[in-house]
Chains A and B, each alone.
Chain A
Amino acid sequence: NAGVTQTPKFQVLKTGQSMTLQCAQDMNHNSMYWYRQDPGMGLRLIYYSASEGTTDKGEVPNGYNVSRLNKREFSLRLESAAPSQTSVYFCAGASNSPLHFGNGTRLTVT
């Protein structure tokens, strides 16, 4: 009963490096979401995928790309990391139900 699994849990990048945050769900959710959480800002939507094969921008998409590889997996890519992308990233899934979140990836960009 893994639910929504995110890897890695922690990551430190240097400015300009790239990386992909992985997310996989075994709850048969149709839609999947990437949010970031910053102090004093709550959670903000980066990108989402309403169904397999579709992706759309959320509130703060700049500097990110996503791939809905299949129904289970939704990855978030930082092509050239910037210090402003230091944050905690949460993946979530939903199917006519409240969002079910993973435990997050804490990313630091130096």
Chain B
Amino acid sequence: DQQVKQNSPSLSVQEGRISILNCDYTNSMFDYFLWYKKYPAEGPTFLISISSIKDKNEDGRFTVFLNKSAKHLSLHIVPSQPGDSAVYFCAAKLPASYGKLTFGQGTILTVHP
């Protein structure tokens, strides 16, 4: 039973355009959501997060939106750059379980020059 799902295995975007990566979850008890980025042969690196009490968090080119009623979050990258090409994982945690994350399957983002 996958509690966090990324239904798009891959996404291809032109440099300079917006990339939108989506994530759905089923457990309404999740209180914190994170996005990680992973390059080949490296470990995932933290990108941006959002608490369940907020609906938007922005950090430079990266913005995460949370729609609790739809149990949906999305990551927007504007403008997209070729260096953004990587696998993106969304993750969620339950209260008082900081490092115990439930991850989605990942979305491969390719940004074409």
What is the interface of chain A, defined by CB distance below 8 A to chain B?
A: 4, 31, 33, 35, 40-45, 48, 58, 90, 92, 94, 96, 98-104
Contact = CB atoms under 8 A, between A and B. Distances in A.
B46 A42 contact: no
A101 B99 contact: no
A42 B49 contact: no
15 contacts: A31-B98, A33-B100, A40-B105, A42-B105, A43-B44, A43-B89, A58-B100, A90-B43, A98-B49, A99-B44, A101-B44, A101-B45, A102-B43, A103-B43, A104-B43
Contacts, number: 51
Contacts of A90: 43-44
Nearest to A45: B100
Given A31-B99, A48-B99, A48-B100, A98 B46 contact: yes
A41 B106 CA distance: 8
A103 B105 CA distance: 18
A103 B42 contact: yes
Contact of A99 (B4, B6, B99): B99
B70 interface: no
A35 B38 CA distance: 14
Contacts of B100: 33, 45, 48, 58
A35 B4 CA distance: 16
B25 interface: no
Interface string B39-70: 00111111001000000000000000000000
Contact of B4 (A42, A45, A103, A104): A42
Contacts of B34: 98
A48 B97 CA distance: 11
Nearest to B4: A42
Which among B43, B99, B106 has the highest number of chain A CB atoms within 10 Å? B99
Nearest to B89: A42
Interface string B77-113: 0000000000001010000001111011110000000
